[in-house]
Amino acid sequence: MITKTTETAFRILLFLNQQGGSRPVTLAELSDSLGGSSSYLAKIAHLLVRGGVIDSHRGVQGGFSLAPHTLGINLLRVVEVCQGFPEAAYCTSKVTPGVQVCGYHEVMAKLHRAIVETLESKTVSDLTSCPRGLDGGGRKIEPCRMCVDRDCHRDPEEAEKKGLVLPFS
């Protein structure tokens, strides 16, 4: 449902956010930090630029940065920019008003609505939290592929001093 291109776009947005916007991030920095070919990352970054999600800066000090409104953009917009509006996997039956659809069609329609509503209700800002340290059971939190710095294993006490550990219920 979410393509590799879209997931990489989310990782680019998270990396740009982590950099704090002090200066544009070069393509080489994106490639070094996120892995992958610079041409693939350039393609995705340019999709985000054309879609108005991030800004591009030319010249020697050029690169990519978050646009002022980026953190408030909903995730559906990012998905649309990268892969188009999410398609639903319905049966091939034609829907006729007043005629009941098959069970598969009904389930897929509900799933599609849930996906679209979830993507609409969450923003890029909602992706920026990455829990670190220990979980509620005292176990180390394993790094996920969306954590830009891959550092979900920081010393919990040191991380807490820096305000990096999210409270657990």
One domain, residues 18 and 59:
yes
Domain that holds residue 135: 130-169
Q: What is the mean pLDDT of the chain?
A: 82
Give the pLDDT of residue 76: 97
The size of the chain, in residues, is 169
Q: Is it the case that residue 147 has pLDDT exceeding 70? A: no
Is the same domain home to 32 and 1? yes
- pLDDT for 122: 95
Confidence label for 54 from pLDDT (cuts 50, 70 and 90): very high
pLDDT of residue 22: 77
Contact 67, 53 (CB under 8 A): yes
Question: Which tokens is 68 given?
Answer: 């002022």
- CB proximity list for 146: less than 8 A, separation 6 or greater: 7, 10, 11, 14, 127, 130
Number of domains in the chain: 2
Residue 154 scores a pLDDT above 50 = no
Q: Which two tokens stand for residue 129?
A: 């939290």
The reported pLDDT for the residue numbered 83 is 96
The per-residue pLDDT for 105 is 84
Tell me: do 118 and 48 sit in the same domain: yes
Residues 105 and 143 in one domain: no
DSSP 71: G
Looking at the fold, whether 151 and 115 belong to one and the same domain comes out as no
Write the DSSP string, 96-149.
-TTSPPPHHHHHHHHHHHHHHHHHHH-BGGGG-----SB-TTSPBPPPPTT-TT
Let me know whether 42 and 71 are in one domain.
yes
pTM: 0.76
Do residues 19 and 59 share a domain?
yes
Cα–Cα distance between 108 and 129 in angstroms, integer?
Answer: 30
CATH number at residue 9: 1.10.10.10
What's the first-to-final CA gap in the chain, in angstroms? 31
| Domain match, 54 and 110 both | yes
Q: Are residues 112 and 151 in the same domain?
A: no
Looking at the structure, tell me whether residues 117 and 144 fall in a common domain. Answer: no
Q: Which two tokens stand for residue 27?
A: 């393509």
- Dump pLDDT digits (tens) for 85-129: 988 777 776 777 887 888 888 888 889 999 999 999 999 998 887
Q: Using the predicted structure, report yes or no on whether residue 46 has a pLDDT greater than 90.
A: yes
Statement to judge: residues 137 and 119 lie in one domain = no
pLDDT at 165 over 50: no
161 against 140, higher pLDDT:
140
- Name the residue among 34, 15, 30, 35 with its Cα closest to residue 62: 30
Higher pLDDT, 30 or 139: 30
Lowest mean pLDDT among 38-47, 62-71, 86-95: 86-95
The CA distances from residue 124 to 59, 69, 74, 113, 145, in Å, are: 27, 10, 6, 20, 16
